Amino acid sequence: MYFEPPPDPSPADVRERVRDRWHDRAQASLRIDTTGLPSGVVDAIATQIRAAVIQRAGTNGHCYGMVLSAQAYFEDPESIPVDEEVASEIAGPTVPFESPDAPVYEEIVRRQADQFLRFRPWLARRAILHPEWLDQTAVIDDVRSVVEATGTASVVLFGDSLLAHQVLVHRVEAVDGGVELGLYDPNRSSGGHRRHPPTVRFDREDGRLTMRPYDDFTGLLYTRYDQIEQASDRTRAGPLDHLDVDTDRVRDGLLPVAQVAVDSTDVALSVIEPSGDRARRIRGRFDDRSRGSVPRLRTCYGAEIGRYRIRLLATADTTYELRTVVAGAETTRLEATRSGAMDAGAVREYELIVGSPAQTTVQRVDLDRGGGSKDRIVAAGIGAVAGAALGAGAVALGRHRGGTSEKSTDEGGR
């Protein structure tokens, strides 16, 4: 249950933000004119961002909003919207409990959603998908400067599973040749903070810092570039300051973009890239993947040329619409929809070919003709993703191959 409806920006509003409001930042950092991007690129980015807002910001695990609000109240206690002098005296996010108004909660929700919609944090989060790009030493240097100047720095922890979490750094200290950060972690109780104050350690190897595991996390981002600018002499701080790769490499890692979206919560989606790797999403521990018009989504930035295998597994009797978009800097190569019906336990496969505009296609694969036992093995793997939702229906994988109908719509590049 939500205390109040979670954020739900309209698709048109998010597209407008990406195309128009991101323009200056994107032009300055990547030399990309967002106002001239093909519609498919803007639509795909907006779809991915909107899903993040309504599935991650639309939960009751508001780590981002809690950290950003706590930081704001620490820096300016007069901004606390309830009758308390310091943030630690706020009894709960929905105070005053006797009133239907909850200004602290509303600010948490607003800040939670807002950070997903800004260009520089969005670009910085691409390093979660490419941790080899990240210069962790440069990140910690800026965190140290901001903590020394303001007292706190809100940072993003991430790991190989693409799980991301926001915490607040309040101490940066040199320890045994490395660095230790003192944290406020909103996932830990106040008693836990008193008994075992959370810390993150970085060791120095060959002059560079590497992070010791903290829970499921092995890396750290800092995306408050406004604070970096205030604490340093840099006037245009940005994500590339923390990367070991140049502008061209980052741009190549963004475009073209290939996106696969399914509108049914009763479908488990798997996308295998040409490399054989499974396409994944950056996620939060409390994501609500039931929300949104396309709750099942995979977005491949810097999509490589080749064949992508798209697998759908029905966890209940359902109808679905599958939407695929492939778009580069010059044109939208493919916008296609496939819709149909599936029985519980049914598997359906599509092949997306990414190439030139004329070569980029998506077609359904006939599993009965070409699959054999291999199809059943891969389908069982998707069943593991679907988990217990299938129950005994998993036995039906060898028998069911789809529903009674399918229709297609394709649109050319724009």
Lowest model confidence (mean pLDDT) among 178-182, 185-189, 235-239: 185-189
One-letter amino acid for residue 122 of the chain:
W
> Measuring CA to CA, which residue among 352, 325, 373 is closest to residue 48?
325
| pTM over the 0.85 mark | no
Give the residue-averaged pLDDT of 126-150: 96
Q: Residue 191: its pLDDT value, please?
A: 82
Are 40 and 335 in contact by the 8 Å Cβ rule? The answer is: yes
Share of the chain above pLDDT 70, in %: 78
| CB-based contacts of 166-172 (< 8 A; 24+ apart in sequence) | 166/63, 166/64, 166/66, 166/67, 166/68, 167/63, 167/67, 167/198, 168/67, 168/70, 168/71, 169/143, 171/147, 172/140, 172/143, 172/144, 172/147, 172/148
pLDDT tens digit string along 345-373?
A: 999 999 999 999 999 999 999 987 644 33
H or E segment and range at residue 362:
strand 361-365
Lowest model confidence (mean pLDDT) among 39-53, 105-119, 146-160, 299-313: 105-119
pLDDT tens digit string along 211-234?
A: 999 999 999 999 999 999 999 988
